[in-house]
Amino acid sequence: MSAAQWRRAMNTQSPGVKVSVSPSVQSTPVARTAGYSAPTYQGTGWWSRLWAPIHLRHWIVMAMVLLYPAVASPFFTYQIGAQSLALGLIALSLTFLGGYGGMVSMSQMTVAGMSSYLIAIFGTSSMQAISLGWPWWLAVIFAVLISMVFATLIGWLSIRTEGIHTIMITLAIGVAFFYLTQQNYVLFNGFQGFSKISAPTIGDVDFTDPVAFYFLALACALAGYGAIQYIVRAPFGLALQGIRDNPRRMNSLGFNVTAHRLAAHAFAGLLASVGGILLVWYNNRISPGSINTGALINILVIAVLGGMKHPLGAFIGAITFVLLQNFAIDLVDRQRFNLVIGGVFLLIVFFSPDGLLGLWHKFRSRWLGFAPVSATSSRQP
Amino acid sequence: MSRGRLAFWWLLVLPLALLALWGLFEDAVLFLKTFLNGLTLASLYFIVASGFTLVFGLMRNVNLAHGSLFLVGAYVGWIVGDQTGSWLLAVLAGFIASALLGVVIQVVVFRRMQGEDLRQTLVTIGLSIVLADLMLWYFGGEIYTFDPPAWIYGTMSLPIIEKFPTYRIVVLFISIVIGLLLWGLLNGTRIGMMIRAGVDDRGMLSASGVNVQRIFALTFALGAGLAGLAGVVGGTALSISPGEDTRYLLASLVVVIVGGMGSVPGAAIGALLIGLAEQFGQAYAPTYSVVFTFVIMIIALAFRPRGVLGKAT
């Protein structure tokens, strides 16, 4: 055994790493990776199988999010609700990559920003000289496709590395893209970016209206959530989680590790680009300031705040983040928002590595007598 | 070196050499000035990144609060310099302040989370957010500059380029001295021997009776201190303001990615490449200067995913 191999063995099995999975569970990746709900659905047809995992609590949450605009003021519907959903969708792409793929990518906001810029470039904006003025659906299709290619390219670069290196490389890529948009005037209009980009009117529905936009964002968020819930149970998702836990073993089992990781990046790129389109319609503008280092880190903060073990965490994190952003300034000085969010983030990372969802599961198992959630997997592959 | 590899290097070096020749004949003053400026920037990047890479090499800790340590050192140095009027004391204070903060971070954060890479990274990101905001609160958004002593202030005359700021030459000199000192420390002393042993095989070093935690704390202090020292030295060459922390963090990330994680000579090579690319980019193609940095990173990653001098683990 070479020194390098020995070091790797020392690193992965040092007592600091939480490996609370017993060997018997480890040998059956399917039972382990299915996670929070029991994976055995007895239904026979695909229709009953589709509805089997939906419980009463899902209906309650569904009713709540559907009725929310009816009880909330336009400010709460738009500023809090819709913004949380859009940010949550971008954070969801990170949760998918990080939580299920083991690749923490800092550049998800960059992908979202790319699609925001593309909407401005293909669609209409205040910059007549650059914007091509295509109809919204064409702009959306091209924005999503090109952003997915962009995300796949980032993935292609970053999957050459592992773990911590991935974070650094994606962070470097994200910041490089920020500087590019800031310095390039031909395509990205430099420091000012684009403004007056508004959501389209489809048929009779004007999506600049807070309630209509809320439902648009909700539909996208639910679609993203549902897609992830489906994918992580599908063969591709299970293989991806296997790769997260032990790439070498999956490789020797005949899985193409690189292809799975690339596909994960492409799918996460799809989610992030949809989130980016929602975000540009929400803000009506896109400028380098929306994708600077702080914005990149905010997405990570949101994902970690909620908890990266479950797709719901992204949205819980986003709601918490947006609420803090809007109301922390009532408690402290307006300028000190970063201190509050940084402090909350530090507390969460220090005391509950699985975020608010992790706190909730701890609380539930200790005080409400629920059985503890299935074994936590090691955080690093 | 195989023939293919050799051909590849020639393919890379030859166009660059031709471009350099063209630049030299086109406008020698501009070319040489840019070259010297690039060297100065590279020296700064080297001082910051060498601490980063040292910490990573030994402990596998990615300290994303490294940029904050840079800024802390710079601000503390500025206060001391302002009070005492001595620039050398300011440099010393910057080093010590960051080193102390680094030890605190090492003991409070990294020692508690050994082996949990992702959590360490997240905590240091959180720390950098909080530290940046605290410093913004206390020092405000103003730009701070240092007054270097008279003997390194002003300009000196060089052949071809008539005038060049003396201080930038001093920065180059300082970084070479630091590089040599680091080399001497790592290769000539007992502690350096332990650090190198730790980089190669932490478990074995611990098993042979060395107090690894003490070595860790010492290395962390050294790495953090170098960041703080760079804060004062760099702050004198350029200036200090909020946001410099992310700039230098990014620079050290790219330098270390290009040069190879955990290798001090790698940091030197990476810093040289990035510093020169940035300055030449700004001089000859201002709009796309950042793209050069990025292209270097992509080329390095595509052909040497572990960096130019990175060890294959």
Select from B91, B93, B92 the least CA-distant residue to B147.
B91
Residues in chain A: 381
Q: Are B264 and B304 in contact (CB under 8 A)?
A: no
Mutate to test the interface with A, among B64, B125, B205 (most CBs of A within 10 A): B125
Q: Is residue A285 part of a domain?
A: yes
Q: How far apart are the first and last CA of chain A?
A: 20
Q: What is the ipTM of this complex?
A: 0.78
Considering only the beta carbons, identify the residue of A169, A341, A380 that sits closest to B301.
Answer: A169
A346·B127 Cβ contact <8 A: yes
Q: Which of residues 222-281 of A touch B (CB under 8 A)?
A: none
Of residues A325 and B92, which shows the higher confidence score?
A: B92
Q: How far apart are the first and last CA of chain B?
A: 21
B301·A353 Cβ contact <8 A: no
Strand partners, B67: none
pLDDT (mean) for B249-277: 86
Using H for helix, E for strand and C for coil, what is the string for B113-157? CCCCHHHHHHHHHHHHHHHHHHHHHHHCCCCECCCCCHHHCCEEC
B contacts of A183 (beta carbons < 8 Å): 286-290
Q: Is A194 helix (H, G, I), strand (E, B) or coil?
A: strand
User: Can you give the CATH number for the domain in which A313 is found?
Assistant: 1.10.3470
Considering only the beta carbons, identify the residue of A15, A16, A160 that sits closest to B301.
Answer: A160
Count other C-beta atoms under 10 Å from residue A184's C-beta: 16
Q: Does A325 touch chain B (CB under 8 A)?
A: no
Q: Does B162 touch chain A (CB under 8 A)?
A: no
Phi-psi region of B307 (alpha: psi -120 to 50; beta: other; left: phi over 0): left
Q: Is B167 helix (H, G, I), strand (E, B) or coil?
A: helix
**pLDDT at residue B121, as a whole number:** 83
B contacts of A15 (beta carbons < 8 Å): 115
pLDDT (mean) for B95-122: 87
Q: Tell whether the torsion through CA atoms of B180, B182, B188 and B189 is positive or negative.
A: positive
Domain count, chain A: 1
Minimal CA separation from B20 to chain A, in Å? 25
Considering only the beta carbons, identify the residue of B62, B200, B250 that sits closest to A175.
Answer: B250
Quick one: how far is CA A99 from the chain centroid? 10
**pLDDT at residue B95, as a whole number:** 94
Considering only the beta carbons, identify the residue of A7, A184, A185 that sits closest to B201.
Answer: A7
Local confidence pLDDT in tens for the 381 residues of chain A: 444 554 454 444 444 334 343 444 344 444 444 444 444 555 567 777 666 677 778 888 888 888 888 888 888 888 889 999 999 999 999 999 998 998 889 899 999 999 999 999 998 888 888 888 888 899 999 999 999 999 999 998 888 777 677 887 888 889 888 888 888 888 888 888 898 888 888 888 888 888 899 999 999 999 999 999 999 999 999 999 999 999 999 999 999 999 999 999 999 999 999 999 999 999 998 999 899 888 998 999 899 888 888 889 999 999 999 988 888 777 776 667 788 888 888 888 888 778 888 888 888 888 776 654 444 444 443
Rg (CA), chain B: 20
Query: Chain B: residue nearest A334 by CA?
Result: B137
Say how far apart CA A73 and CA A81 lie, in whole Å. Answer: 10
Mutate to test the interface with B, among A157, A248, A339 (most CBs of B within 10 A): A339
Say how far apart CA B180 and CA B182 lie, in whole Å. Answer: 5
Going by their DSSP bridges, the two strands A205-206 and B155-156 should be labelled as: unpaired
Q: Is B163 helix (H, G, I), strand (E, B) or coil?
A: coil
B contacts of A11 (beta carbons < 8 Å): 60, 115
Q: Is A19 exposed, middle or buried (0-12, 13-18, 19+ CB in 10 A)?
A: middle
**pLDDT at residue B99, as a whole number:** 95
Q: Give the pLDDT confidence of B57-91 residue by residue, as tens digits.
A: 777 777 888 999 999 999 999 999 888 888 889 99
Residue B288: pLDDT over 90: no
Q: Does B191 touch chain A (CB under 8 A)?
A: no
Q: Is residue A27 part of a domain?
A: no
Of residues B49 and A184, which shows the higher confidence score?
A: B49
Identify the domain containing residue A171 by its residue range.
74-367
A335·B301 Cβ contact <8 A: no
**pLDDT at residue A44, as a whole number:** 61
Q: Is residue A7 part of a domain?
A: no
**pLDDT at residue B224, as a whole number:** 94
B115·A16 Cβ contact <8 A: yes
Q: Does B206 touch chain A (CB under 8 A)?
A: no
A contacts of B293 (beta carbons < 8 Å): 176
Considering only the beta carbons, identify the residue of A164, A180, A336 that sits closest to B121.
Answer: A164
Q: Is residue A17 part of a domain?
A: no
Q: Is residue A222 part of a domain?
A: yes
DSSP state of B240: B
Count other C-beta atoms under 10 Å from residue B247's C-beta: 16
What are φ and ψ of residue B89, in 5° steps? -65, -40
Of residues B238 and A317, which shows the higher confidence score?
A: A317
Minimal CA separation from B23 to chain A, in Å? 24
Using H for helix, E for strand and C for coil, what is the string for A283-300? HCCECHHHHCHHHHHHHH
User: How many beta-carbon pairs under 8 angstroms link A with B?
Assistant: 140
Q: Are A54 and A263 in contact (CB under 8 A)?
A: no
Say how far apart CA B208 and CA B293 lie, in whole Å. Answer: 43
A175·B62 Cβ contact <8 A: no
Please tell me the least confidently modeled range out of A337-346, A348-357, B146-155, B163-172.
Answer: B146-155
Mutate to test the interface with A, among B53, B63, B110, B122 (most CBs of A within 10 A): B122
Q: Does B295 touch chain A (CB under 8 A)?
A: no
Q: Is residue A18 part of a domain?
A: no
Q: Which of residues 122-161 of B touch A (CB under 8 A)?
A: 122-123, 125-127, 129-130, 132-134, 136-137
Say how far apart CA B168 and CA A33 lie, in whole Å. Answer: 56
- For A83, half-sphere exposure in the C-beta direction (CA atoms, 13 angstrom radius) is 18
Mutate to test the interface with B, among A110, A158, A164, A344 (most CBs of B within 10 A): A164
Query: Chain A: residue nearest B246 by CA?
Result: A293
Say how far apart CA B280 and CA B292 lie, in whole Å. Answer: 9
Q: Is residue A46 part of a domain?
A: no
